[in-house]
Structure 1
Amino acid sequence: MATKKQIAWFGISTAIIAVLIYMADINKFIEAVSQANTYYLIGALLTGLLPFFVWTHTWHSFLNKMGANVNYRKTFKLFMTGNFMNSVTPLGQFGGEPFMAYVIKENTGLSYEEGFSAVLSSDIINSVPIFTFVLGGAAFLLIFGSVNDIITQAIYISLLIVVIGGSIAYTLWFKSGTIENALTKGLRKITDRVGRGEKYVEKLDEKLENVEEAFERIGEDPRHLVRTASIAHAYFVFQVFSLYLILASMGIHTDFTPLYFILPLSSLSNFSPTPGGSGAYEATLATILTLMPAALFPQIPFATAIAVGILFRLCTYWPGLIIGYGAMISIGREKAN
C-alpha cells in the first residue's frame, strides 16, 4: 500500500500537470488530445512498452553474470517490482538502486552487494544508448550544417557526462577497489579526527570489499559488456519511435534526428524530487518541443506540446507502474507459498 508521503508526492506531480494544462489553455489542450489519431496512439503505447523488456534483458544478463541463475520471466517480475519501488519514491528516476538491490536480495540467492553491483552496472549500460544517439545525431547535423546553440549545448553536456560517467564505469569494472578504497580512507580520516565511528567504518569496509569483488566479476568479460550494451540500444529506438507516433497522431510530422536530442534533454528532469520525475518531465518535454528551432522541428503551440508530453508518459511511464505493482504482488504471493 502507498504511504501518505508517496500519495503526497503523486499529488504534487498531478498538481504540476494540472497547472501546465491550465497555463496552456484547457480548451486547446482538450482539442489537441481529442484530435489525436487513435491508431497511432495504440502503436505508440505498444512501442512504449517494449523498453521494459529491453531493460529486463540487461538485468537478466548481469544477474546471471553474478550467479543468480534466474529465468527471464522471473527477472521481468524483479525488474518491474524494483522499477515500481523506485518510481513511488521522491527521488526522480535516480537513486533507486538500493531499493532494487533489496528486491534482488530478497528474491534470489545473491547478496545485497552483488545485487547492487548488478543494478548499478545495468544502469550504466542502459545509459549508453542515450549518448550514442545524441553524439551520432550531432555528427549527422554537423555534416549537413544544421547545428545551433541548443544542439551545441547538448553535445557539450553529453561529452562531459560521457567522460565522467565513462571514467567511473571503467574504474568500477576494470580498476575495482579504487573508488571503494578512496571512500574508506576518507571516512577513516574523519573518524580519526572525531574519535568515534570506527566500528561503522569497519562494517562499511567489509561491505565495500564484497561490492569490489562483484564489480571485478562483471569487468572480467568486456565482450559481455559490449554485447549487453549493443542490445540495450533498442530501448532508445523504441522510445523515439513512440514519441514519433504520438506527434504523428496529432498531425505533426518530423524527422527522427531532432528526437534524438529532445528525449535526452527531457530526461534531465528525472532529477526532480517527484516520483519518476512526474510533472517535471512533462513540463520539460513540452518546453523543449516549443523551443526547438523551426529549421529542425515544426513549430507547435504550447497546449499541443503539453498534450504530447502527457501522452508520451502515458505510453512509456505510467503503464510500468501498473505492471510493476502487479509484479510486486505476484512476487509477494510466491514468497508466501
Structure 2
Amino acid sequence: MLKGNARAIFIGFVGSLAVLGGFYWYVGIDETLSVLSMADTKILVLVVVGAMCWLVAWGMALRTVLGVLGSTITPVKATAIFSGVLFANNVTPFGQAGGEPISGLLISHATDREYETGLAAIASVDALNFVPSIILATFGLGYLASSITFDGNLQYAAFTIVALAVVVPVSGYLGWQNRYRLERFTVSLITPVIRTIRGTILQREPLAEGSIEKRIEGFFSAIERIATTPRELALALGLSSLGWIAQGACLWLSLYALGHVVSPVVVLIAIPIGAVAGVTPLPGGLAMIELVLAAVISALVVSISHPVIAAAVLIHRGAVYLLPTIVGGGVTAILASR
C-alpha cells in the first residue's frame, strides 16, 4: 500500500522540506543553529526518554483496545505495532486520516486478525486520543484567560480549541445515536466504490456485495464492542492522557534545554493545537505542525526569541517525529517481509 503511494509521499516530503526550510530561513538559520549548539545534552536525553514514554503509553492504549476485541498481545509488541502506526501516519498525507487504512493493515498482520478489526482498533484509539487533548487544552486556556488578553495567534488557537471541544463530543454523540443508520449509509456508499476499484484499477474479480457488507458490519460491530466497555475505555483514556503529558514534557524539556523555563500550561495548549495541523496534505503534518507550535508558543511567551522557539520546536519534533518513524519503519518492513 505504501509502495503504491510512493510518488505522493515523495512529493509530500519535498513540499514539507520546502516549507520547513522557508520557516527556518525566515527565523534565521544561523541564529537557530547557534541556539541549538548551546543546548544541554543531558536534558536532550530526557527529551528522548519523554518521547519513548509517550510511545509506550499510546501503545498500551492500543493494547487495551485490542484486548476488548479479543486480541491479547504483550506490551512490547503493542508498542512496536503502534510505532508502525505512527510511521504510517508520518509518511502519508493528511496524517492519521491518510495513515489509518495502512495502520489497520499493519495491525491485522501483526495480530492475525481481520482487516476491519485492525481498522476499528486504530480508529478507536485515534478517536480516544482527541478527548484528553481537548480537555487539557481547554483547562489551559481557561487558566490563561484569567491572567492575559487573547489576541493575534492566540485568538485563533482559542477558537480552534473551543470549536473542537464542541464539535467532537456532539459528533460522537450523534454518530453513536445513529450508528445503525450510519452503518447502512456506509454500506450503500462504499460498496460500489470498492467493487469499481477492485474490478478496474486492481484488475481483480469484484467482491460480492454481501462480502463487502459483512466486512463493513464487522468494523461497526468492533467499534460498538469497544464503546460498550467503560472500564477499558477509562483505562485507554488514562493512557492517552499520559501520552499527551509526555509529549508536553518533551516540548517543555526542549525549551528548558535551551535555558528557558515556561509554564506547563503553555505546552499543554501548544501540543494539541499543533496536532490539529497533522491533518494537512503534508506527510504527518511535517512543517505545518512546526509552524503552529512556534506560533502558539511565541503568542503565549513573548519573552523568548523566535530562534530559541524554533530551535526548541526542532528538538521536540526531532524526538516525537523521528523516533517513531525510524522504529516504526523497521517494524513495518518486518511485517511487509512476512
* TM-score normalized by the length of structure 2: 0.84
Q: Could you give the per-residue CA deviations for residues 270-327 of structure 1, whole angstroms, max 9, x where no partner exists?
A: 122121111222222222222x1xxx52423322222222111112111111111222
Alignment partner, residue 195 of structure 1: none
Which of 112, 117, 120 is the equivalent residue of 1:117? Answer: 120
Whether 2:29 is the aligned partner of 1:26: answer yes
Match status 1:146 vs 2:148: yes
| Residue 222 of structure 2, aligned match among 194, 202, 214 | 214
Please, which of 56, 80, 90 is the counterpart of residue 87 of structure 1? 90
Shift in CA distance, 163/298, structure 1 to aligned 2, threshold 3 Å = closer
Alignment partners' CA distance in 1, 2:185 and 2:166? 20
Q: Secondary structure at the match of 1:314?
A: helix
Residue 105 of structure 2 corresponds to 102
Deviation of 1:19 (Å): 2.0
Alpha-carbon deviations, 1:128-158, whole Å to 9, x = none? 221111122233234x443524556544433
Instruction: Give the superposed CA RMSD.
Output: 2.8
User: Secondary structure, in 3 states, of the residue corresponding to 1:276?
Assistant: helix
Structure 1 pair 46–25 and aligned structure 2 pair: CA distance change class (3 A): same
Q: 1:68 to 1:175 in 2, by over 3 A?
A: farther
Which among 317, 320, 324 is matched to residue 316 of structure 1?
Answer: 320
**CA deviations over 1:15-65 (Å, ceiling 9, x no partner):** 222222222222212211112222222211211221111110111011111
Aligned partner of 2:272 in structure 1 is: 264
| 2:252 partner SS | helix
Q: How many pairs were matched up?
A: 322
| Contact 1:29 1:307 (C-alpha < 8 Å) held by counterparts | yes
Q: Which residue of 1 aligns with 2:282?
A: 274
Local SS of the residue matching 2:283: coil
Worse overlay, 73-82 or 312-321? 73-82
- Take 1:217 and 1:146, find their aligned partners in 2: how far apart are those partners? 44
Rounded Cα–Cα distance in structure 2 between residues aligned with 1:85 and 1:186: 26
| Cα 1:286–1:152 shift into 2, 3 Å | closer
Q: Are residue 181 (structure 1) and residue 189 (structure 2) matched?
A: no
Change over 3 Å in CA distance of 1:231–1:81 after alignment to 2: closer
Q: Secondary structure at the match of 2:297?
A: helix
- C-alpha separation in 1, matches of 2:316 and 2:252: 10
Aligned residue number for residue 244 of structure 2: 236
Structure 1 residue 235 displacement after superposition: 0.9
The farther-off stretch of 52-61 and 281-290 is: 281-290
Does 2:257 correspond to 1:253?
no
CA distance in 2, matches of 1:200, 1:25: 58
1:111 shift after superposition: 1.3
Supply the distance in 2 between the matched residues of 1:80 and 1:266 (Cα, whole angstroms). 20
> 1:148-199 CA deviation, whole Å, 9 max, x = no partner?
24556544433332333223434556764232124446789x9xxxxxxxx8
Gaps of 5+ in 1: 191-198
Percent identity of paired positions between Structure 1 and Structure 2: 22
Normalised to the residue count of structure 1, the TM-score between the two structures is 0.85
SS at match of 2:284: coil
Q: Gaps (5+ residues) in structure 2?
A: 194-206
Q: 2:44 aligns with which of 38, 41, 44?
A: 41
Partner of 2:304: 300
